[in-house]
Structure 1
């Protein structure tokens, strides 16, 4: 591509090696989660949510289990100010939930922010100013000392207005554009703010280190976080927070590695909605933890309900292949995948295994409110016999013999390919009925009777092209006798009669289903299926269906 040399690396590695996080295998406990859907997420919407929509969204976040929720920038607009006052004055904030508000380091903005918080039971006041080299040089045209003074002045103002305002407040500071800031300077600014706030074990503060723009590979961000964690003053009294964006598509990786590196808290949004390419996706992060056997502390057992509310209120769409939450994320169209999943499901049922290990499925879809039948096995022209057979068995109780599954699979794939569409379970069942079940042309079975001496003798009444005829045959069993009658009367050559049957339902009125295959002299196998309340009749119908297939083919 052109102009590649114009893109210099704009991030800053720590001055010392910070790689202790690489020695850890996985995250052992969930971080503190802070949803910023109502701030970062809302400001990224083409049509921001109104007051009623924000209230509904807030209630959903509470229901999911968020204990910290950033509700907005109350000094920025009347809607955000009124939303915060509505929450407080109508007592809509549960006692165990802390709200968070954002403010720039400017006196009149901080003053109005605390006015909006009057009476808050628990609130985090989030102070920020940009510290990056690019912003210092191009936007503010200020020195490091001047930028640090903005942060410290804001820290002092937070103390001043908090002391004058009714409520319970915790302080948070973000060196915005942290990833584009020289790491020693970012540490110095944070330490100056901490010196002003003097955090204690009973009054901890939050230092939030945002990847406002994701500028590096994830391991670099993790090393930056580890350096800050190991060199920050008052570390035991500081909650180290991570706020990754997703410019490079690595938001989740940034967050996970940073948690290994000392991060204790994550700010993000449901499904990653945020400016540009978005914030880190908390649903993915939380369910990644869940897939490793770590309780994320958030409830996504009803993911489809959450998606419905999210899409309706934000007017955004969850992509079909979004991890865990996408409509098709558990769906397998590939034949080999479907076969492995179907066999894995059956193995788990047989073994009653508590540990989840089904091939191709990272977690059990049912644990987040998804259904196997509609979400896992999806049928199109790429599907295989295993998946197609699985659909018939799960939806209609038809347990096709393996060889019949193969033949039927080709029939289904041909239909899907012809019409260029995915086939629903009822369409697959209709194809099976039309091509294999109780076939009556050109030979229609009418009735039979048996007598038994040394062998079984049968009289079978059939209708051939509208003419009723009677077939006579003998055999060592009922089905063998009928089979011989058919072959003798019609002069058909076939052998290798295969038979399988099972009940289709339970109870006194249950139907039986039978499967029969026959092989002609050329080795071509024809399958038939019979369904009837009488097991013998179902087997006879299956045989006649196979014979009709043979004649037609």
Structure 2
């Protein structure tokens, strides 16, 4: 038996994951996810890019001040201003604060983006690491676009920054270009050719442009990488990042050929996945590995028979191992606060007394309308009542009339910047009329890119869940709303998107791997 080696899990959901179109989060939303990541027991949480905006700085600062378990990382470019800003946010975590600085090393980036020579890149990287090391010994350096960097030069950069004080070296496949055998070879090359490689932890950060982020990360671990950077549900730039749940469960499930482990409490995976979907409005595809709705579903008769006889015939892991309970029905109209609070805690929500009371009132109202309350209904309640608190725009009341002979008409009353406004318009359908009226009231110039409707659970009394994608000046956001009345749910989703858009438009563009 080979010795079991522990692999560090560096979660960048709150930084790289937030850079997914429409996934921008408020400070409170980031803090809620950070608490759940702490329950998940990841080793490092990359809380944001402090220089990017005041909101990002404050989010990193609050997470550094509040969380006590994992290391807290803040991303920064290899320049004095970025590094100083990052430490000012991270210093509250003391020795757990990690300055994560980066600089591109590939020919294409040096020529077209940086306009630097090789020596200038080395000098800049070394100067950045030295400045960071002046604040803390916990310094990580990333060679942006390392996967497309000439290996001798990459080794030269890595050796120089380790000498300068970097204690973690990250090798990103920034554009998801490599295949597993190739990426594993890069890690082996560095292990063999960098004189001081034992002076730092070797990390990898893979993107999923070719659908190989998890495979490349596992190949890197087999080649000697000791840290994997990943995100919940695999969200991130373009096609996303290495999926945390997939790489962690692969290491857990295949101990026969992968003698590695992690500190992750896998029983919190499902709750973390659901919380992120609720916060961002980005739903998980049904056939997504580990956390998709169909991941443990069996429809084929042969499969069903096999699972009834012995689960391992068609299940290589148990639903319980990721925190997915078999019986989702837990509450009804006769349930009290204790059962309600306990179930929310199990789902990963930590609410204050005021938020809990508001959520409970909404739960009781829904329970009077529905016979059965499912976990998905609770997620929707939290999304509408707590996480998705309207900011600039708030729906007060609405009425829609429609039919085969009547022109669809929506009358909407909203609170906008604290003032009540009301309007009515005709549309081609009830949803179109509703959106037109809201757009008139808010004077929004945003374009509607997509609109989707689904039932949160089964049955004709199920809550409807709507998602809209809006675009303005190249910025895209997702809005989400839930309500037993699908038209009201549509209005909630549209208004939610407008509130998110108002926040996103204030944020500065941030760099990425």
Shorter-normalised TM range: 0.5 to 0.7
1:488-545, Cα deviation, whole Å (9 max, x unpaired): xxxxxxxxxxxxxxxxxxxxxxxxxxxxxxxxxxxxxxxxxxxxxxxxxxxxxxxxxx
Deviation at 1:425, TM superposition (A): 12
- Counterparts of 1:435-450 in structure 2, within 5 Å, are none
Q: Distance in 2 between matches of 1:64 and 1:40?
A: 18
For residue 103 of structure 2, give the secondary structure of its aligned residue in structure 1: strand
The match for 2:154 among 186, 190, 209 is 186
The match for 1:103 among 61, 76, 87 is 76
Matched, 1:359 2:329: no
Matched, 1:145 2:119: yes
TM-score, length basis structure 1: 0.56
Matched, 1:282 2:244: yes
The match for 2:264 among 298, 309, 318 is 298
Q: Distance in 1 between matches of 2:91 and 2:6?
A: 31
Q: Distance in 2 between matches of 1:325 and 1:28?
A: 26
For residue 138 of structure 2, give the secondary structure of its aligned residue in structure 1: strand
For residue 39 of structure 1, give the secondary structure of its aligned residue in structure 2: coil
Q: Go from structure 1 to structure 2 and tell me whether the alpha carbon gap of 1:186 and 1:370 turns closer, same or farther (over 3 Å shift).
A: same
CA RMSD for the aligned pairs?
A: 2.4
Q: Distance in 1 between matches of 2:22 and 2:46?
A: 20
Q: Distance in 1 between matches of 2:297 and 2:79?
A: 51
1:35–1:267 CA contact under 8 A, matched in 2: yes
Listed as ranges, the gaps of 5+ residues in structure 1 are 1-24, 163-167, 200-204, 346-357, 376-423, 427-553
| Map of 1:120 onto structure 2 | 93
Q: Distance in 1 between matches of 2:325 and 2:48?
A: 36
Matched, 1:369 2:323: yes
Q: Distance in 1 between matches of 2:3 and 2:154?
A: 26
| Map of 1:210 onto structure 2 | 172
| Map of 2:46 onto structure 1 | 70
Q: Distance in 2 between matches of 1:274 and 1:44?
A: 5
1:152–1:192 CA contact under 8 A, matched in 2: yes
For residue 129 of structure 1, give the secondary structure of its aligned residue in structure 2: strand
Q: Distance in 2 between matches of 1:192 and 1:305?
A: 42
- Counterparts of 1:463-502 in structure 2, within 5 Å, are none
Q: Go from structure 1 to structure 2 and tell me whether the alpha carbon gap of 1:44 and 1:251 turns closer, same or farther (over 3 Å shift).
A: same
For residue 70 of structure 1, give the secondary structure of its aligned residue in structure 2: strand
| Map of 2:430 onto structure 1 | none
Q: Structure 1 stretches (4+) deviating beyond 6 angstroms?
A: none
- Counterparts of 1:348-427 in structure 2, within 5 Å, are 358-371=312-325
1:180-234, Cα deviation, whole Å (9 max, x unpaired): 110111111111112222x7xxxxx001101111212211000001111222232
Deviation at 1:26, TM superposition (A): 9.3
Q: How many residues align?
A: 327
Q: Distance in 2 between matches of 1:313 and 1:137?
A: 39
1:27–1:260 CA contact under 8 A, matched in 2: no
1:423-463, Cα deviation, whole Å (9 max, x unpaired): x999xxxxxxxxxxxxxxxxxxxxxxxxxxxxxxxxxxxxx
Q: Go from structure 1 to structure 2 and tell me whether the alpha carbon gap of 1:360 and 1:58 turns closer, same or farther (over 3 Å shift).
A: same
Deviation at 1:153, TM superposition (A): 2.0
2:90–2:98 CA contact under 8 A, matched in 1: no
1:113-171, Cα deviation, whole Å (9 max, x unpaired): 222233332211111011111112222232212222221221232234x1xxxxx5411
Matched, 1:173 2:173: no
Q: Go from structure 1 to structure 2 and tell me whether the alpha carbon gap of 1:313 and 1:235 turns closer, same or farther (over 3 Å shift).
A: same
For residue 75 of structure 1, give the secondary structure of its aligned residue in structure 2: helix
- Counterparts of 1:173-322 in structure 2, within 5 Å, are 173-197=141-165, 205-293=167-255, 295-322=261-288
The match for 1:59 among 20, 35, 41 is 35
The match for 2:103 among 107, 129, 136 is 129
Q: Go from structure 1 to structure 2 and tell me whether the alpha carbon gap of 1:81 and 1:309 turns closer, same or farther (over 3 Å shift).
A: same
Q: Distance in 1 between matches of 2:10 and 2:45?
A: 5
Listed as ranges, the gaps of 5+ residues in structure 2 are 330-456, 460-513
The match for 2:306 among 322, 329, 340 is 340
